[in-house]
A and B are shown apart, each in its own frame.
Chain A
Amino acid sequence: MADASPLLECRNVSKAFGAVQALWNVDFEVRPGEVMALVGDNGAGKSTLIKGIAGIYPFDAGQVFVDGEEVHIHGPRDAARLGIEVVYQDLALADNLDIVANMFLGRERTRGAVMLDEPNMERAARETLDSLSVTTVKSVRQTVAGLSGGQRQSVAVAKAVMWNSRIVILDEPTAALGVVQTRQVLNLVRRLAEHDLGVAIISHNLHDVFEVADRITVLRLGQRVALFEREKTTQQEVVHAITAGTLDAVPGMETPDAEAAPTEVEA
Chain B
Amino acid sequence: MSATAGVGPVPGGPPVDETGASSTVSGYMRVWWQGVRAGELGSLPIIVGLVVIVITFTLLTDNFFSERNFTNLILQMAAVATMAIGIVFVLLVGEIDLSVAFVSAVGAVVMTLLLRPGDPGWPWWAAIGFALLCTTTIGFLHAIVITKAGVPSFVVTLAGFLIWSGVVLILTTQYSTAGTIRIQDSTVIGIANDFLSPVWGWILGVAVVAAFAAVQLRTSMTRRARNLAAKPIVLIALQTLGLAAVTFAAIWYLNEDRGVPKVAVILGIALAFWSFVAARTRFGRHVYAVGGNAEAARRAGINVDRVRIAVFMISGFMAGVGGIMLASRLRSVATNTGSGNLLLLVIAAAVIGGTSLFGGTGRVIAALLGALVIASIQNGMDLMGLASGTKFVITGLVLLGAVLVDAFSKRRRAARGGV
Complex: how many Å from CA A138 to CA B227? 16
Interface residue B242 (Cβ < 8 Å from any Cβ of A): no
- Do A94 and B417 touch (CB < 8 A)? no
Which residues of B in the span 278-309 have a Cβ within 8 Å of any Cβ on A? 280-283, 285-286, 288-289, 291-293, 295-297, 299-302
Which single residue of chain B is at the shortest CB-CB distance from A118?
A: B9
Contact between chains at A97 and B289 (CB < 8 Å): yes
B9 touches A101 (CB 8 A): no
List 17 contacting pairs A-B, 8 Å CB cutoff, sorted by A.
A94-B296, A96-B361, A97-B360, A101-B288, A102-B296, A106-B289, A107-B300, A114-B281, A114-B282, A116-B282, A119-B222, A138-B17, A139-B15, A141-B16, A143-B413, A144-B417, A147-B417
B15 near A142: Cβ-Cβ < 8 Å: yes
A95–B72 alpha-carbon span in the complex (Å) = 41
The CA-CA distance from A105 to B284 in the complex, in Å, is: 12
Report yes or no: A96 in contact with B11, Cβ–Cβ below 8 A.
yes
B416 within 8 A of A: yes
- Decide: A114 near B414, CB < 8 A? Known: A76-B299, A93-B293, A97-B11: no
Contact A92–B299 (Cβ < 8 Å): yes
A123 interfacial contact with B, CB 8 Å? yes
B346 to A: closest C-beta gap in Å: 23
| A residues lining the B interface (CB < 8 Å) | 76-77, 88, 90-98, 101-102, 105-108, 110, 114-116, 118-120, 122-123, 126, 138-149
Q: Kindly identify which residue among B228, B281, B295 contacts A122, using a CB–CB cutoff of 8 Å.
A: B228
- Contact residues on B (Cβ < 8 Å of other chain), bracket: 35 or more
- Contacting residues, chain A, for B16 (C-beta < 8 A): 139, 141
Asked if B223 is at the interface of the complex by the 8 Å CB criterion, the answer is yes
* A139 CB, nearest partner CB in chain B, Å: 4
Please state if B281 and A116 are interface contacts (CB–CB under 8 Å): yes
B17, A139: Cβ atoms closer than 8 Å:
yes
By the criterion CB–CB under 8 Å, are B228 and A119 in contact? yes
B148 proximal to A (CB < 8 A): no
Q: Is the CB of A126 within 8 A of B18?
A: yes
| A132, chain B: closest CB distance, angstroms | 17
Chain B residues in 8 Å Cβ range of A144:
417
Contacts of B388 in A (CB 8 A): none
Q: How far does the Cβ of A162 sit from chain B's closest Cβ, in whole Å?
A: 12
Given contacts A101-B289, A139-B19, 13 further A-B contacts (CB under 8 A): A94-B293, A96-B293, A102-B296, A106-B297, A107-B300, A107-B301, A116-B285, A141-B17, A144-B417, A145-B413, A146-B413, A146-B417, A149-B419
User: B17 to A94, Cβ gap below 8 A?
Assistant: no
Complex contact A98–B11 (CB within 8 A)? yes
**What residues on A are CB-neighbors of B15 within 8 Å?**
98, 139, 141-143
Q: Are B228 and A123 in contact (CB under 8 A)?
A: yes
Determine the residue in chain B with the shortest Cβ distance to A105.
B300
Do B293 and A95 touch (CB < 8 A)? yes
- Asked whether any CB of chain A lies closer than 8 Å to the CB of B40, the reply is yes
Report the minimum CB–CB distance from A102 to chain B (whole Å). Answer: 8
List, in ascending order, chain A residues with CB within 8 A of B300's CB: 92, 105-107
Contact code string B1-30 (vs A, CB < 8 Å = 1, else 0):
000000001010001111100000000000
A148 and chain B: residue at smallest CB distance:
B419
A145 touches B289 (CB 8 A): no
Chain A residue at smallest Cβ distance from B14: A141
- A115 CA to B285 CA, complexed, in Å: 10
Q: In the complex the two chains form, what is the Cα distance from A111 to B419 in whole Å?
A: 36
Contact B226 A145 (CB under 8 A): no
* CB of B243 within 8 Å of the partner chain: no
Q: Are B416 and A146 in contact (CB under 8 A)?
A: yes
* Known contacts A94-B288, A94-B289, A105-B297; is-contact A143 B17 (Cβ 8 Å): no
Instruction: List, in ascending order, chain B residues with CB within 8 A of A98's CB.
Output: 11, 15
Bound Cα distance from A237 to B38, whole angstroms = 49
